[in-house]
Chains A and B, each alone.
Chain A
């Protein structure tokens, strides 16, 4: 005769599910922890403001970006400040500062997302290739793993911003060049991260079990190892958005950014503001603060996400 036990005794908390309460998936549990973390909420709000401003830029201003309509009012010693028509005043070239700022947000968002997407796609593919073959092992598996990682090592032998600088210098002055350059510089980070977590997942018991059941290696890797390893890579992508936004501005600063003057870009606004700092410090302070704001939002949120997904912090 079996004595039926209450469910809570059959399944003690935290034994079957990784989370305290059974039945909550990895991402759902992470979301719950995120909602309880104040810095995650602050980060998310900052990101939301940034994204919202970027998307609705044309609605937030009635002027066109880069128009030098009021350039007559700008003199070497003075740049008109805030007025009823120009909420943040004019910039050094006689464009409306507020318009430049909101369109700058749009540029930063597009540059950041596209370049991180490039880095994530290429890097994660390389990492999955190396990690997949590496965790299967065997002669071919190890060979593919080694070959891919040597390529990544070459990219890692140059500091990432300098890698981006070299690639941007090769591709010429346009927005695609900047996105590709910054994306390419992120490739080694994603490749190493995904490969590392796939290799460690490859040694897990459930892989051994699946293997013993006779499930094909490709299915184990694609269906089990990869989905279980992707978490840290997603977190890294969030954090890389912050780096990408800063690096876009850095490339602009070095004269490698978008060359079209009609495009508003925070990095270039900073460069242009340098010689007018005495007359109008806001020209430098506003874009600088905007870059830091966007980067801070993604960093806060990314770090909270990392913490939420970390098994050690699941309590």
Chain B
């Protein structure tokens, strides 16, 4: 197992090197001069020269690249052109927000999706099954930002049941230790702050979790209905095992493997969706940070964001692969 993990980690290295070269070339090929973007209306030839020198935009390309990679290896992702703050600092500060949102969305999707898919498979062909299947199809094709806008307009703007934006009421003035706002409230025993953060999470998490929910329902249903037709299930039922025991020990255990794979595959969807959802709800995570960076052509932020996402995404995929081994002994042996 350890060898497998190490091998997979080693395989990430060429991918990341390739990505850094592509990203470096990409940012240099962007239309619009970065120094001009920084200075905006006040751009003068002298000013542009000064900024070029300060950010190294005037050095030879190969030198710029080596400096860039060297800095990356030291954990220096550069500074935002807009705010002058280190990019990594903004990431670590905002990443908990995205993680909190993504985890809540995934939790919602799994907790609701697996039972729904299971029930649908058990009642195949009946009304319950048909409605679950059609509902999940609708969930897959509804654009995440459309759903986010609808939820916001109906439940926040119109009905005022839930907050419209942000992660917490600014008047809360809560203490933040980890930047996971719900967790922070628990740690500091500021229960109302925790509750407030939770209410801010509901709508974005619903919007973000709907597509993963729909996908998990569909995969669980397909997988369970396949396993239900297996000989060993019939044998288990024939030898008189209780229905619950068959479901737990024979059906669910075997049906869950593709479901776990699918849950792992949602990571990419969650990151992509987070950019859109966070933008709708002004939920101050890395998604919204990216959105702002696109608008202001903040190259170091864009570059840093993609490298950051690539590392996190690859690590999550590795984690998913490792978890197969834990669930399925056949994978472990191979």
Contact = CB atoms under 8 A, between A and B. Distances in A.
B142 to A, nearest CB: 5
Interface string B14-30: 11101100100010011
B19 A157 contact: yes
B141 A254 contact: no
Interface residues of B, number: 44
Given A270-B146, A299-B141, A154 B18 contact: yes
A172 interface: yes
B140 A159 contact: no
A278 interface: yes
Contacts, number: 114
Contact of A299 (B140, B145, B149): B140
A200 interface: no
B223 to A, nearest CB: 14
A170 B138 contact: no
**Looking at B15, B26, B314, which has the most chain A CB atoms within 10 Å of its CB?**
B15
B158 A278 contact: yes
A292 B139 CA distance: 9
A249 B16 CA distance: 30
Contact of B276 (A166, A171, A254): A254
Nearest to B20: A154
A274 B279 contact: no
Given A284-B149, A284-B150, A157 B294 contact: no
Nearest to B270: A159
A246 interface: yes
Chain A facing B: main interface SS: helix
A285 B153 CA distance: 11
Interface in A259-314: 270, 274, 277-278, 281, 284-285, 288, 291-292, 295-296, 299-300
A61 to B, nearest CB: 24
Given A270-B149, A288-B150, A295-B141, A158 B306 contact: yes
Contact of B143 (A151, A158, A250, A278): A250
Nearest to B147: A288
A161 B14 contact: no
B149 A157 contact: no
Nearest to B295: A255
Nearest to B30: A170
A157 B295 contact: no
B137 to A, nearest CB: 7
B205 interface: no
Nearest to B16: A157
B268 interface: yes
A162 interface: yes
A150 B146 contact: no
Interface string A130-163: 0000000000000000000011011001111110
A274 B150 CA distance: 9
B309 A159 contact: yes
A150 B30 contact: no
A239 to B, nearest CB: 10
Given A158-B313, A159-B269, A296-B141, A254 B279 contact: yes
A294 to B, nearest CB: 8
B310 interface: yes
A169 B302 contact: yes
**Looking at A153, A158, A277, which has the most chain B CB atoms within 10 Å of its CB?**
A158
B75 interface: no
B141 A250 contact: no
Contact of B137 (A246, A254, A299): A299
Contacts of B144: 250
A256 interface: yes
B153 A170 contact: no
B26 A292 contact: no
Interface string B261-292: 00000011101110110010000000000110
Contacts of B45: none
A299 B214 CA distance: 13
B244 interface: no
Contacts of B309: 158-159, 162
Contacts of B26: 166, 170
A34 interface: no
B84 interface: no
A158 B310 contact: yes
Nearest to A256: B294
Contacts of A292: 138, 141-143, 146
Given A157-B15, A159-B309, A246 B157 contact: no
A151 B140 CA distance: 29
Given A151-B18, A162-B309, A254-B279, A277 B146 contact: no
B138 A296 contact: yes
Given A169-B294, A270-B146, A274-B149, A159 B313 contact: yes
30 contacts: A150-B15, A151-B18, A154-B18, A157-B19, A157-B314, A158-B313, A159-B268, A159-B269, A159-B313, A161-B275, A162-B272, A162-B309, A166-B26, A166-B302, A169-B297, A169-B302, A249-B145, A249-B146, A250-B145, A254-B291, A255-B291, A256-B294, A270-B146, A277-B153, A278-B158, A281-B153, A291-B143, A291-B146, A292-B143, A300-B137
6 nearest A-B residue pairs (beta carbon): A159-B268, A161-B272, A295-B141, A288-B146, A157-B310, A277-B153
Given A157-B314, A278-B157, A285-B150, 12 more contacts: A161-B273, A162-B306, A166-B302, A249-B146, A250-B276, A254-B275, A254-B291, A281-B153, A284-B149, A288-B149, A288-B150, A292-B138
Interface of B: 14-16, 18-19, 22, 26, 29-31, 137-138, 140-146, 149-150, 153, 157-158, 267-269, 271-273, 275-276, 279, 290-291, 294-295, 297, 302, 306, 309-310, 313-314
